[in-house]
Amino acid sequence: MIKVLITGAAGFIGSYMMRFLRDQSIEVVGLDNLSPLPKHDFKLHRLSSLNFDVDKIEYNVPLHADQSTFINLDLNDEKKLRNFFDNHEFDFVLHLAAQTGVRYSVEQPLAYIDNNIRAFCSLLECCKESSVKNVLYSSSSSVYGLSNSYPFEEDAPTHHPLSVYAVTKKADELLAHSYSSLYALPTTGLRFFTVYGPWTRIDMAVYLFIKAINDGTSIKLFNNGEMYRDFTYVGDVAKAIKLLMLKMHEDSQQEEIGVPYKIFNVGHEHPIKIMDLITTIEEALGKKAIIEERPIQAGDMIKTLANTSKLYKEINYIPDTNLKTGIEKTVKWYLEKCEKIYSYS
């Protein structure tokens, strides 16, 4: 049986991957420091939805549910992290723990340095001495920064980031390359393009728009809605990650030629205008949006568009969830799990 460590297991993509992999009989151990930054979110509720008894969470104490394990542990707690690796062997490490949010990184840059760069380095230090087949880690489309050469390709220059968040993601890619080069540690960077879906972060546009339209409050629409995002459904991301792991598992006996380091775009290849996103949510909710126009914010990119041909060549990746279907699933989750059960602000 394949055994996978997921960091950031109480986050949006991390919790989805916990459920997705364990439902396919893959042994999963999840770590998360349960940080509430940039503001209160619902990490405990995500864990509860995975059947973990969150009232029993203690620091560095394993919690079990449905053939998976969760541990509240900070990656920057180096002594305990090393002890954790001494007691576990993993086929793969899926590093999704990070301080997220482009705009908040402008206000609190040091939190991003600690949680995105230092924490990743701590993890790589442990992984280099383990038998892990590959460290897959989350990067971001934000690394493309000022580039206006569309679609974004993995070998395009990424020297002009627009936010501290983007800087930390680029730094992670460089760290991964150095560990792959120095220690022959296989690493795979995943440049995610605007991932959305059930249990999304509450500071993401999809959640904010759904909540505002449903509540009858105004939406802050930046740059007159003249921005495009390559919205990618979280289920498509999960399938891509699983296919990569399976291929790596099958290829693990083959000798690597050169530095064992790869980067892939993980997107949908169909950029959506923000106004079209709002229209799609309006149709799913059967309600109209109240628009409050605002100027573009510092750190925002005008457009993102992924070229995923490299990922297709690697694993035949084809995202098959269009925006209408993905938004309908997300709205259904919001109405059933968010609005009716919990009260979030």
Which residues participate in catalysis according to the annotation? 165
What backbone phi and psi angles, to 5 degrees, belong to 25?
60, 35
Q: Give the CA distances from residue 163 to residues 103, 114, 274, in Å, rounded to whole numbers and listed in that order.
A: 8, 16, 20
In 3D space, the residue among 234, 173, 221 whose CA is nearest the CA of residue 18 turns out to be: 234
Sign, Cα dihedral of 35, 37, 39, 45: negative
For residue 55, count other CB atoms closer than 10 A to its CB: 7
E strand spans, the chain: 3-7, 27-32, 63-65, 68-72, 92-95, 134-140, 187-192, 195-196, 218-222, 228-229, 232-233, 261-266, 272-273, 290-294
